[in-house]
Amino acid sequence: MEYIKIAQVPDAVLHKKGNTVKGVLHLTTHHLIFTLPQVETAPRGSQELWLCYPMIERVTFTKGSALLYAPDKDESFQLTKGANLRIICRDYTFLAFDFKDVKQCNDVFESLLKLTCVNSLENLYAFLYSPVKIEAPLNGWKIYEPVREFARQGLKLNSPNSSSEHPGDKMWRMSNINESYRVCTSYPSVIVTPASISNSVLHHASKFRSKGRMPALTYYHKYNGCSIIRCSQPLVGLKQNRSMQDEKLLLEVTKTNDASSVLIVDARPVANAIAQTALGAGSEIVEYYPNAKKVFLNIDNIHVIRDSLNKVTEALKNTDISMEPPNQDLLIKSGWLKLIYTVLTGLDMIVKSLHLNKQHLLLHCSDGWDRTSQLAALAQLLLDPYYRTLEGIMVLIEKDWLSFGHRFNERSGHLQSETKFVDNSEYSSTNQAQHAIKQVTTHFRHRKHVKYTSPIFHQFLDCIYQLLKQNPTIFEFNERFLRRLLYHLYSCQYGTFLYDSELERRQAKVSEKTRSVWDYFLARKSQFVNPDYKRLDEVVYPDLSKISFWYELFGRTDEELNGFLNESSASSGNIDTSLYYESQTKNETTEMGIKLQETQTLLSQVELKE
């Protein structure tokens, strides 16, 4: 409570979706609560707005009323009095609070900063949360069990201690090489590998992959015996290094069925992969891998994804004080839909290669925990109807996102940065020079932390949203499930998404000290089930001509966010929006070719030192 400079502000004014209401603002240890005057006929709880601090994305402190920034503002003297806080939330809720007194506003601002920017994950709400009655008997931590799940996929596995020299009739085995996480700190404790591959080969193969993330099976397609193998980029470098163990591992994968070929899928743009060569990494030299081909998917990195979604947020920023349509020019320039289109295009190729062309897939990006997790999980969603059930999507996320080490804490920024709190008020208890120095120091201290945040999991859920809209009856879960899952990614009410790896979760004992997010959904299953669900056992492919903004998430109507797409479709007489994304990327493709040529020239000038 020492962080709370002011616990209650009467007569605060809330602006939300163009509506204005007066009430009382409360600051508690873990929540901001805004209460309206009590109305006897109103249901209990309906007169309150609760905001947990980890949901805060940005707070701006400015003198005057927030309505000064409204497009249709009243140029009255009253709007220049007092001060306001405008808050952007990570679930795209936009709020603004007006305060009569500038000091009150400053105290709330500084309290929010301290309450939001905690210095340890153990200080988050998840470690104090006590489950409500309907959640108490559940245990979502047990929903995924590797042996059970791979058996469900159709694999007959040798035990972790079986000899690779006598695999018998089983083509795969579960290895315990990483049970203490010494080979790879970001991988699960058990991995599936060809039965003919020994732990010694795995250990040497891990040294040839970034962060030790060796090729490991994540999905077995029982219809033709093909597989999805995931890993990180190889450490090829300028010397064109190779690994006999890595090559042998991939060769043995092709021997697990009669497919005999493998497609190496590098999710990155070609120029990015080549640039990594100068840093000691890079992409596979295909000549060293028998019966292998390689493709690049040109999916952009975490920084491009973050910047793109920030532009979408900028287009919606006045949602607190106005319900005018968002800035469609900014929506188009954000490039968000083009990024979704690129992922789904790569996904389409992956699913067809495995299911129709009978190719094993080796899938990676750079470190193998961002784009790799997206593509591997999305592919399984289309290949296996089980993952389209409510239980299945939970198992899929546990397997391909959590156990394979997507860096949820780092990407989500649970330990918030003070740079997200912007003071434009010129109000300070110290002189302005000291205040400016403090802001600059804070900026540099937190810049590195912010650099590695990125909405990778958000983009994954957005891709599922596109598939759900295209195929409204084949998913057991509904759109609300995706929206609430994104909310709880950031809420820090549950322990599931707090850490960066299975190892970190075990060290923090999250299954003992916190609740699983799946308890929330399983306890309220009726809210998240699609009433039109009809199981479809066939493989599904994305429709690249139907991609649109997730308007429900952004709190807008379909027409407000997708009107420009609908108008384009109507004028052309079809709904093929893929033409829009293709034209949007034409100039970028030319630019990438120029950058690639420049990169190759740069690399040719680097002197190799023996």
335 labelled ligand-binding: no
Q: Is 365 annotated as a binding residue?
A: yes
Q: What DSSP state is assigned to residue 529? A: B
Cβ proximity of 86 and 56 under 8 Å = no
The answer to whether residues 406 and 456 touch, using CB atoms and an 8 Å cutoff, is yes
Given the residues 105, 365, 463, 492, select the one marked as catalytic. 365
Q: According to the annotation, is 492 in a ligand binding site?
A: no
The β-bridge partners of 227 are 220
Cβ contact 362:231 at 8 Å: yes
368 is in an annotated binding site: yes
Task: List the 19-27 sheet strands across, edge first.
Answer: 48-52, 31-35, 19-27, 8-16, 94-99, 83-89, 56-63, 421-423
Q: In terms of Cα–Cα distance, which of 55, 48, 67 is closest to 92?
A: 55
Flag whether 384 is marked binding.
Answer: no
CB 333 within 8 A of CB 580: no
Residue 141 marked as a ligand binder: no
Q: What span, in angstroms and rounded, lies between the C-alpha atoms of 509 and 249? A: 34
The label of the residue with tokens 């920024």 reads 413
Cα–Cα dist 301/266, whole Å: 12
The CB-side HSE value for 416 (13 A sphere, CA atoms) comes to: 26
Q: Cβ neighbours of residue 121 under 8 Å, at least 6 residues apart?
A: 409, 414, 415, 498, 499, 508
**Which residues, in sequence order, are CB contacts of 531 under 8 Å at separation 6+?**
none
- Cα dihedral across residues 283, 285, 288, 293: positive or negative: positive
How many other CB atoms sit within 10 Å of the CB of residue 235? 19
Pairing type for strands 226-230 and 216-221 reads antiparallel
In angstroms, the CA 335 to CA 304 distance is 9
CA dihedral 161, 164, 168, 174 (to 10 degrees): 50
With a CB cutoff of 8 Å and minimum separation 6, the contacts of 102 are 63, 82, 83, 425, 427
Return the bridge partners of 234, or none.
209
Region class of 39: left (phi > 0), else alpha (psi between -120 and 50), else beta: beta
| Alpha carbon distance 97, 453 (integer Å) | 27
Q: Is 226 annotated as a binding residue?
A: no
Neighbours of 603 (CB within 10 A): 14
Residue 365 designated active-site: yes
| Cβ proximity of 575 and 569 under 8 Å | yes
> At 100, is the secondary structure helix, strand, or coil?
coil
Catalytic amino acids?
Answer: 365
Binding site for substrate, residues?
301-302, 365-371
